């Protein structure tokens, strides 16, 4: 699929350090999850390259943070425009290496670009404060300054947006960055670096280190006293490792980790709208997002009707290669992902779950979109994130029962519920122990709002004006002898 790029020079296979393309001595294969075919051999950079990238970011920092906010804003704006101008090629690279349907990939590119646009604008608004003074001859003010060199470790499920969401606010604030993209999806990351280069973002400001040595490269980023901030999106398990590794240097951390999103449908919901929301929330990206509905709780009065309508819609999904027109569900990222879905289904069936539709792997890395009814709390699907196209539907009776079940997890990222009762909407929104609540909607993301979780789903928020705070330190200046 990659020879169809409008601009073949966007296919980069070397790392990007200090404004130059670095080959390294070794490569790793990037494969198309839909076909299993190799797409490219990409530079497999090392711990030593990572140190070079940190050095480059450190060297670039004084000049970059010394620009005016408006100058940085203009460069971000240019990057944004280039990303949009090349949206079709970026989407092709994404469908090829990640598998999501082309229309969905295009949507992600636009979504990813929106963070660059937003932080081009926010760059100009990193206001400080003047504080009413506590003594007549003193003045107090608060400056907000870039934290310094930042690191970003990103996942494969959103190969563009997870990078722009971190890099755009960091560089807008005046920081410089080293990015380690996921090994499944380095091509989008490198194409973004190429576009940043074309936009005129100076050398060393953004560095991208593709590698299969995730742990070794991660260790260098965590251990470095020069790196002052680490932003990570990925599993809670790896998040814990990184947090521990960042303790010795007291690094500031932003963590977007696993979720286990509840999706609650009350008797008073608009059922068709709830089914629509469940489809988007559950089956988007083949269920491979940290905000995908993982557990569907449906009140007894509408349970059977909801399950029937959902299953009917799910039977209408078209599974296949994301480049084929009309395909709505692509492959899963790797064979292990299919194993996990299958294990969850087998466990659910053994404990009384009923497969309403789907349930089986297809050829290659494809899996039937699946609905399981009669889900119960002793099943693995009640506790673990499936990260695949499986919707277990639990039955509940009272509002409190639904809230308790929804909150019975160590995770707290996204949650959803459908109701038309205004009192209930307020009560349940307040009671859900989550960083994000979608009410009568199955899709929450936007560059304008703070995305993030509570409990073991992470630390910090990305997007919105709050997203900039991650990359700014406050400095209190007290002026005496006035």
Q: How many residues sit in the footprint of ligand ADP (CB under 6 A)?
A: 14
Q: How far is the CB of 332 from ligand ADP (least distance, A)?
A: 12
Angle between helices 161-173 and 186-199 (to 10 degrees): 30
Secondary structure (3-state) at 99: coil
**Toward ligand ADP, which CB reaches closer, 233 or 409?**
233
**Toward ligand ADP, which CB reaches closer, 256 or 470?**
256
Nearest to 249 by CA among 229, 231, 264, 234: 229
Task: Give the whole-angstrom CA distance, residue 60 versus residue 20.
Answer: 14
Secondary structure (3-state) at 254: strand
Choose the binding region for ligand ADP from 18-26, 151-159, 301-309, 441-449 (rule: CB under 6 A): 151-159
Catalytic residue among 104, 108, 117, 256: 256
Task: Give the whole-angstrom CA distance, residue 259 versus residue 276.
Answer: 21
Annotated active-site residue 97? The verdict is no
**Toward ligand ADP, which CB reaches closer, 244 or 479?**
244
Of residues 207 through 266, those in contact with ligand ADP by CB under 6 A are: 214-215, 218, 234-235, 238, 241-242
Of residues 256 through 315, those in contact with ligand ADP by CB under 6 A are: none
Contact flags string 326-355 toward ligand ADP, x per CB under 6 A: ------------------------------
155 binds ligand ADP (CB under 6 A): yes
CA angle 287, 421, 435 (to 5 degrees): 45
Nearest to 295 by CA among 144, 413, 154, 164: 413
Choose the binding region for ligand ADP from 149-157, 186-194, 346-354, 451-459 (rule: CB under 6 A): 149-157
Task: Give the whole-angstrom CA distance, residue 209 versus residue 290.
Answer: 24
Choose the binding region for ligand ADP from 113-121, 133-141, 152-160, 164-172 (rule: CB under 6 A): 152-160
Q: How far is the CB of 46 from ligand ADP (least distance, A)?
A: 14
Beta strands in 287-339 (DSSP E): 293-299
Q: What is the per-residue DSSP string for 185-198?
A: -HHHHHHHHHHHHH
**Toward ligand ADP, which CB reaches closer, 272 or 334?**
334
Residues present in the chain in total: 482
Q: How far is the CB of 258 from ligand ADP (least distance, A)?
A: 8
Around Cβ 455, how many Cβ atoms within 10 Å? 16
Q: How far is the CB of 188 from ligand ADP (least distance, A)?
A: 12
Among 44, 46, 73, 154, binds ligand ADP (CB under 6 A): 154
Nearest to 259 by CA among 295, 290, 281: 290
Ranked by CB distance to ligand ADP, the top (closest) residue is: 218
Task: Give the whole-angstrom CA distance, residue 110 versus residue 101.
Answer: 14
Contact flags string 157-196 toward ligand ADP, x per CB under 6 A: -----------------------x-xx-------------
DSSP state at residue 102: H
**Toward ligand ADP, which CB reaches closer, 5 or 332?**
332
Residues 6+ apart with CB under 8 A from 438: 277, 281, 414, 415, 416, 417, 444
Active site residues: 256
Q: Interface with ligand ADP by CB under 6 A: which residues?
A: 153-155, 180, 182-183, 214-215, 218, 234-235, 238, 241-242
């Amino acid at each position: 699929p990659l020879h169809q790029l409008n601009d073949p020079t966007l296919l980069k296979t070397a790392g990007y350090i200090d404004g130059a393309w670095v080959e390294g001595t070794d490569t790793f294969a990037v494969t198309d999850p839909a076909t299993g075919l190799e797409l490219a051999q990409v530079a497999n950079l090392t711990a030593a390259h990572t140190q070079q990238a940190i050095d480059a970011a450190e060297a670039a920092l004084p000049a970059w943070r010394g620009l005016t906010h408006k100058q940085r804003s203009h460069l971000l704006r240019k990057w944004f425009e280039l990303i949009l101008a090349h949206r079709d090629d970026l989407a092709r690279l994404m469908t090829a290496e990640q598998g999501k349907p082309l229309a969905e990939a295009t949507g992600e590119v636009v979504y990813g670009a929106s963070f660059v646009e937003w932080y081009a604008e926010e760059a100009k608004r990193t206001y400080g404060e003047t504080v009413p003074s506590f003594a007549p001859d003193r003045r107090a003010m608060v400056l907000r300054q870039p934290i310094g060199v930042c690191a970003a470790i990103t996942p494969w499920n959103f190969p563009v947006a997870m990078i722009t969401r971190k890099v755009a606010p960091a560089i807008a604030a005046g920081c410089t960055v080293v990015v380690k993209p996921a090994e499944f999806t380095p091509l989008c990351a490198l194409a973004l670096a190429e576009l940043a280069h074309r936009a005129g973002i100076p050398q060393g400001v953004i560095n991208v280190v593709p590698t299969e040595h995730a742990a070794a490269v991660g260790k260098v980023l965590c251990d470095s006293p020069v790196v002052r901030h680490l932003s990570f999106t990925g599993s809670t398990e790896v998040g814990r490792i990184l947090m521990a590794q960042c303790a010795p240097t007291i690094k500031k951390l932003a963590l977007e980790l696993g979720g286990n999103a509840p999706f609650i449908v009350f008797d008073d919901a608009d059922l068709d709208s709830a089914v629509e929301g469940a489809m988007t929330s559950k089956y988007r990206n083949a269920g491979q997002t940290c905000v995908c509905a993982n557990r569907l709780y449906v009140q007894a009065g509408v349970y059977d009707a909801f399950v029937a309508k959902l299953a009917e819609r799910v039977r209408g999904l078209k599974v296949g290669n994301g480049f084929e027109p009309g395909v709505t569900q692509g492959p899963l990222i790797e064979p292990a992902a299919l194993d996990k879905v299958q294990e969850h289904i087998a466990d659910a069936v053994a404990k009384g779950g009923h497969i309403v539709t789907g349930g089986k792997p297809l050829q290659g890395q494809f899996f039937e979109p699946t609905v399981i009814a009669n889900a119960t709390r002793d099943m693995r699907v009640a506790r673990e994130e499936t990260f695949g196209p499986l919707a277990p539907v639990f039955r509940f009776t009272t509002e409190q029962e639904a809230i308790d079940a929804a909150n019975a997890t160590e995770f707290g990222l996204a949650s959803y519920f459908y109701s038309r009762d205004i009192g209930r909407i307020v009560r349940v929104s307040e009671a859900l122990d989550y960083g994000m609540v979608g009410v009568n909607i199955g899709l929450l993301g936007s560059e304008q709002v703070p995305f993030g979780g509570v409990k073991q789903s992470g630390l910090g928020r990305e997007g919105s004006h709050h997203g900039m705070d991650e990359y700014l330190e406050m400095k209190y200046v007290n002026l005496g002898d006035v």
